[in-house]
Amino acid sequence: MKETSIRIQHLNVVYGGHTALKDVCLTMPHRQITAIIGASGCGKTTLLRSINRLIEFTEGVRVSGEIWVDGQNIFSAGVDVTSLRKRIGLISQKPSPLPMSVFDNVAYGPRIHGMRDKRALDHVVRSCLETAGLWDEVRDRLHTSATQLSVGQQQRLCLARSLAVQPEVLLCDEPTSALDPVSSQNIESKLLELKKDYTIIIVTHNIQQAMRLADHVVHLYLGEVVEQGSASEVFQKPGDDRTRAYINGNAPSEFRVDAEINLKGKDCPLNFVMAKTALEDLETGQVLKVLIDYPRAITEMPRGMEADGQNVLRVRQLNKTDWEVIIQKQ
């Protein structure tokens, strides 16, 4: 296994007139877990998708700068993008099993890359399912549909599928956000085990999760790197006021709020519908502040708004019961 490190120099990503990443320079060490933290809309997922060039599937995107993986700039002419994406696996926020059996999900990648020997495929499938902590749960269901698995099992299956092509880097885009606490713990424990063999980069909104997992931390703010370093340094003695504020849940506001709606006492999905109605009265680019106190809405409203195409700028706890969600209309 190569000791893969990633070095990014002056990376800029622009969608239309919106700059998602601005002059990003950073290094991600090999065989460690790097956590990318920051408020919604700060560019975390854009950075992740740039590392294996999935960003190029975004219509109208313009990318400049350099990303070096094992001494090679991935944007250089002649780079085999298919080979690059084999080396750099991606685990998405929501589990995405292929519409086929458990076995075929894991075997899909090796088959695409030319593996045909049944005995070799059997070995790869079992080995990857064992590494993902799923073998004992599915060994008698290998030829049933993967969509019949629980959500937590599906996410571990996606991890096994990524491992099956023997990547050097694992990109994890909020891999536990859709999972229950037990399933989340399973994924976290597997990532900690895997870092001895892989360079792992995880995007997370969960500061506690970053503290549990990260060896190295990158804090993005409005598309720029404001701080990076070892997890102990960043979390215990942050050098930038914006990082300190974000870790403490008091990220500074650098946007004007155009409207505010108080939805405390409103249950899901009514609070989402009312917030969406309030957004309809705003112009594109304007900002709505929503006050909520319904526990499930803390995660469901931001997720629903992002799925609806809106830009969630911040989710912040105000006191023991109340939260605010800042949404920019798109």
Summarize pLDDT for 148-176 with one digit per residue, the tens: 999 889 999 999 999 998 899 999 998 88
Is 149 within 8 Å of 183 (Cβ atoms)? no
The full 3-state SS of 71-96, as one line of letters, equals CEECCCCCCCHHHHHHHEEEECCCCC
What's the CATH superfamily of 259-328?
TusA-like domain (3.30.110.40)
Smallest CA-to-CA distance from 70 within 6, 25, 10 is with: 6
d(CA 89, CA 166): 9
Count of alpha carbons within 13 angstroms of residue 76, beta-carbon side: 10
Question: What is the predicted pLDDT for the residue at 251?
Answer: 54
List of long-range contacts for 23-27, beta carbons under 8 Å, 24+ apart? 23/65, 23/224, 24/65, 24/220, 24/223, 24/224, 24/225, 25/225, 26/218, 26/225, 26/228, 27/228
Q: Is the entire prediction scored with pTM above 0.85?
A: no
As assigned by CATH, the class of the 6-247 domain is: alpha beta
Question: What is the predicted pLDDT for the residue at 103?
Answer: 96
- 249 pLDDT tier (thresholds 50, 70, 90): confident
Question: Alpha-carbon torsion 125, 129, 48, 169, what sign?
Answer: negative
Name residue 21's beta-bridge partners: 13
Summarize pLDDT for 291-321 with one digit per residue, the tens: 998 777 777 788 788 778 888 877 777 887 8
Strand-pair category, 259-262 with 224-230:
unpaired
What lies within 8 Å, CB to CB, of 265 at 6+ separation is 293, 294
Question: Alpha-carbon torsion 312, 315, 318, 319, what sign?
Answer: positive
Tokens of 89: 């696996």
Question: What is the predicted pLDDT for the residue at 229?
Answer: 94
Q: Give kind and range of the element (H or E) at residue 276.
A: helix 270-280
d(CA 136, CA 255): 50
112 alpha-carbon distance from chain centroid: 25
DSSP 327: E
Question: What is the predicted pLDDT for the residue at 172?
Answer: 92
With 50 as the cut, is the pLDDT of residue 1 above it? no
Question: What is the predicted pLDDT for the residue at 253?
Answer: 53
Q: Where are the domains of the chain?
A: 6-247, 259-328
Question: What is the predicted pLDDT for the residue at 226?
Answer: 92
Summarize pLDDT for 30-51 with one digit per residue, the tens: 999 999 999 877 889 899 999 9
